[in-house]
Amino acid sequence: MAPSSDDKVGELLWPGELRRRLGARYVQVPQVARDAEITETQATITLQMLAERGNLQPWVAPHCPACDNIWPSFLDEDDIPHHIRCPQCKVMGERDDFEFFLVYEVLREPDE
């Protein structure tokens, strides 16, 4: 029996346990491209179009170098402060100490 689309949601964002911790669904361009068997350019365009339609909310998500926590918290790169504190391990670091990922929060399913 094939898994339902909800069974795959937690696997879309590295690390996979992020969905459990945040209680929401998130996707990234590389996972969408891989799962849909399309190029990353096609996945980027698709995700941007869905964001423009209000189906997705793009977030910039820092990756904590100390505990590997990833949390969506900034709407734009300009919103990222010089110092960032990880909400999980409370480590404070400079912006340059963190790696950042673009993630999309699924707000609602696309209209059929």
pLDDT digits over 19-37, tens only?
A: 444 445 788 888 888 888 8
Q: Does 9 score more than 90 pLDDT?
A: no
Question: Is pLDDT above 50 for 50?
Answer: yes
Q: Which value, in Å, is the radius of gyration of the alpha carbons in the chain?
A: 15
pLDDT above 60: residue 16: no
Element (H, E) at 24: none
Q: What is the pLDDT of residues 65-88, one digit of tens each?
A: 999 888 898 998 999 999 999 999
